[in-house]
């Protein structure tokens, strides 16, 4: 089998496997839970099918699709789907993190807050790095999308590391779909980063890396198919020791977002109180005061407080 044949086979295998994973996700009735993964796979299937169709038409049916028009369409379909995939990858990581942290609500809220900031900064950095004197127009867009994809890959690896080592306190196991998806994403992220590093040192290995890339994509899709084909074990009951840092941080994080209580310290008009409340306050203050003061106050209150009480509507 020649190198070209292998690349073509892997190219045709990719949308088929994507379709298979999509079918399995829909069959497992988990599409709503993993909606961003479904969207990512959907974009992959559509873009792969369109790109393959264009490539095939440009090579075999030149009278139907002129090569220049074919390349024009291919260019935009490829880059738009690449940008969409980069954004959807970020959303998949976000949703996986949310699902993984679901039992620890406090840490989930805090983590989401941090994640959002990191995502916004990553997008800003991706745009900033792409601004360069020798990159303009299409090259700028390509550089920005590539940078975003690399940032998303680094975030994915951080998520994978977190899910793998904090799997027990979250009640998950290595057979959980959350771990399976994270592992697949991690595999894609590493391939992406290694490919970027490889290409930045020498572009003559593009064909070789297409094979490695194609194998990594197919392997990831196989892993996801396996995780969605078999039933997922139920989440374990989470039992943490009272000294667990997860528990402590969760409690602290839950308290962080609470609405504070308010105390009125002055400028309170008597209309705010009910007559019964005023009566309670009057009696309480009369009990607290010494007997001599009571006699003095009662004489003054007999005139004053009755005026206040009468001023409050019943």
| Subset of residues 56 to 75 that bind another protein, contact rule: CB under 8 A | 58-59, 62, 67-68, 70-72, 74-75
Length of the chain measured in residues: 314
Window 254-313: residues binding another protein (CB under 8 A): none
Mark 149-167 as b/e (b = at least 16 C-beta within 10 Å): bbbbbebbbbbbebbeeeb
Nearer to another protein, 109 or 195 (CB): 195
| Binding residue count for another protein, defined by CB under 8 A | 71
At how many degrees (to 10) do helices 206-229 and 3-27 cross?
20
Nearer to another protein, 191 or 250 (CB): 191
Closest approach of Cβ 23 to another protein, in Å? 20
Report how far Cα 39 is from the mean position of its chain's Cα atoms. Answer: 14
Report how far Cα 80 is from the mean position of its chain's Cα atoms. Answer: 21
- Specify the stretch interacting with another protein by CB under 8 A; choose among 27-35, 78-86, 265-273, 282-290: 78-86
Question: Which of 20, 129, 238, 247 touches another protein by CB under 8 A?
Answer: 129
3-state class of 79 per DSSP? helix
Q: Which spans in the chain are helix H?
A: 3-27, 35-60, 67-100, 105-130, 138-165, 177-201, 206-229, 245-256, 275-288, 291-311
Closest approach of Cβ 20 to another protein, in Å? 16
User: What does the per-residue mask of binding to another protein show for 3-22, with x meaning CB under 8 A?
Assistant: ----x--xx--x--------
Decide if residue 85 touches another protein (CB under 8 A): yes
3-state class of 142 per DSSP? helix
Window 25-54: residues binding another protein (CB under 8 A): 44, 48, 51-52, 54
Nearer to another protein, 21 or 253 (CB): 21
User: Closest Cα partner for 41 from 25, 27, 28?
Assistant: 25
Nearer to another protein, 55 or 278 (CB): 55
Window 130-189: residues binding another protein (CB under 8 A): 130, 132, 134-135, 138-139, 142-143, 146-147, 149-150, 153-154, 157, 160-161, 164-165, 174, 183, 186-189
Tokens of 142: 């390509």
- Specify the stretch interacting with another protein by CB under 8 A; choose among 111-119, 204-212, 279-287, 294-302: 204-212
Question: Which of 193, 238, 247, 308 touches another protein by CB under 8 A?
Answer: 193
Closest approach of Cβ 230 to another protein, in Å? 16
Nearer to another protein, 176 or 250 (CB): 176
Nearer to another protein, 108 or 150 (CB): 150
Decide if residue 122 touches another protein (CB under 8 A): no
Question: Which of 21, 37, 99, 216 touches another protein by CB under 8 A?
Answer: 216
3-state class of 299 per DSSP? helix
Do residues 228 and 24 touch, judged by C-beta distance below 8 A?
yes
Question: Which of 24, 199, 308, 309 touches another protein by CB under 8 A?
Answer: 199
Angle at 45 between CA 154 and CA 186, to 5 degrees: 20
Give CB contacts under 8 A, 24+ apart, made by 30-36: 30/177, 30/228, 33/99, 34/95, 34/177, 34/181, 35/95, 36/88, 36/91, 36/92, 36/94, 36/95
């Amino acid at each position: 089998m020649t190198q070209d044949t292998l690349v073509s086979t892997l190219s045709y295998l990719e949308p088929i496997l994507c379709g298979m994973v999509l079918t399995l996700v829909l069959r497992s009735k988990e599409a709503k839970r993993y909606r961003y993964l479904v969207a990512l796979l959907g974009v992959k299937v559509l873009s792969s099918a369109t790109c393959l169709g264009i490539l095939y038409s440009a090579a075999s049916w030149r009278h139907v699709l002129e090569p220049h028009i074919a390349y024009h369409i291919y260019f935009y379909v490829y880059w738009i789907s690449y940008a969409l995939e980069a954004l959807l990858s970020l959303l998949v990581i976000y949703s996986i993190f949310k699902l993984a942290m679901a039992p620890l609500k406090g840490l989930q809220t805090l983590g989401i807050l941090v994640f959002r900031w990191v995502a916004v900064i990553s997008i800003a950095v991706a745009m900033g790095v792409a601004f360069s004197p020798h990159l303009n127009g299409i090259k700028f867009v390509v550089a920005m999308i590539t940078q975003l994809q690399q940032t998303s890959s680094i975030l994915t690896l951080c998520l994978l590391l977190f899910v793998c080592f904090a799997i027990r306190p979250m009640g998950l196991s290595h057979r959980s779909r959350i771990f399976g998806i994270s592992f697949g994403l991690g595999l894609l992220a590493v391939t992406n980063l290694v490919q970027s590093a490889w290409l930045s040192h020498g572009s003559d290995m593009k064909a070789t890396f297409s094979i490695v890339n194609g194998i990594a994509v197919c392997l990831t899709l196989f892993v996801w198919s396996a995780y969605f084909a078999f039933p997922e074990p139920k989440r374990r009951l989470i039992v943490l020791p009272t000294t667990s840092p997860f528990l402590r941080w969760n409690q602290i994080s839950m308290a962080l977002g609470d609405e504070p209580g308010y105390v009125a310290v002055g400028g309170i008009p008597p209309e705010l109180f009910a007559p019964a409340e005023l009566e309670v306050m009057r009696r309480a203050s009369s009990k607290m005061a010494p007997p001599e003061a009571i006699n003095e106050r009662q004489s003054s209150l007999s005139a004053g407080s009755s005026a206040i009480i009468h001023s409050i509507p019943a």
